[in-house]
Structure 1
């Protein structure tokens, strides 16, 4: 999975010490179907997620990541949840935590397909027949699909 250049530059200074980063999760819905990608790093099905670039709004990052990873255009409808993830330890020893902004997005155009090396598959799945998805992502999906405009503040370590 490619690491953004700004993170690589930070790592030159701090090594593998924990980094606190801003992340975004994009829950894209279209006709009672959910857009999912199969992550290249874990092989898990998940909504599109990524790191917010310096100076970028997390909503813009969600829309950008959907295009980059799944070649689908979608627009943010609402901020569904804000949470903090557990600490992740990557195979190279790097450690990071994320303040995750989970957004619900509305499909605009495009047919899902792999857009970069962060995923190995992409597609639409009926909301009532999803493939196995890790609980941390299922929780984000449920928050994004919840009715109402309220943003959920998540205070556990799963964001």
Structure 2
């Protein structure tokens, strides 16, 4: 998985110590389907996720990450959930914890395909028949699908 340049520079100073980062999850919907990627780092299915660049609005990051990873353009409709992930240790030993912003997004255009090295597959999947994935990622999808206003805030 590519590491953003600003994180690489921070890691030069802090090594593998815990780093707090803003993240996004883009739940891109097209009718009754959701856009999924098979992550190249762990081989598991997930909605599009990524790290917010310094000074970037999280909604802009969600749309950017979707385009970069899948070639799909989307419109962010709503912030549906803000939560804190558990601490993660990445394959390279870096420790991180994320403040995730989950957005409900609407498909606009583009043919879904693997557009970078962060995923090995990209596909549209029926919301009612999701492949096996981390439970919290499935929960983000279902929260976005059910969204009718307001933002879910978890501690």
RMSD: 0.7
Pair 1:33 & 2:42 matched: no
Query: Which whole-Å CA distance do the structure 2 matches of 1:72 and 1:154 have between them?
Result: 29
Name the TM-score, length of structure 2 as normaliser: 0.98
Corresponding residue pairs, total: 155
Structure 1 residues 147 and 136, CA gap change in structure 2 (3 angstroms)? closer
Checking the alignment, whether the CA contact within 8 Å between 2:80 and 2:147 is kept in structure 1 is: no
Unaligned 5+ runs, structure 2? none
Partner residue in 2 for 1:118? 118
Name the TM-score, length of structure 1 as normaliser: 0.95
SS at the partner of 2:91? coil
Partner residue in 1 for 2:139? 139
> CA deviation digits over 1:11-68, x for unaligned, max 9?
0011110000000000000011010000000100000000000000000000000000
Unaligned 5+ runs, structure 1? none
Query: Which whole-Å CA distance do the structure 2 matches of 1:26 and 1:100 have between them?
Result: 10
Pair 1:86 & 2:86 matched: yes
Partner residue in 2 for 1:130? 130
Partner residue in 1 for 2:53? 53
The alpha-carbon deviation at position 147 of structure 1 amounts to 3.3
SS at the partner of 1:132? coil
Structure 1 residues 147 and 91, CA gap change in structure 2 (3 angstroms)? closer
Query: Which whole-Å CA distance do the structure 2 matches of 1:83 and 1:64 have between them?
Result: 21
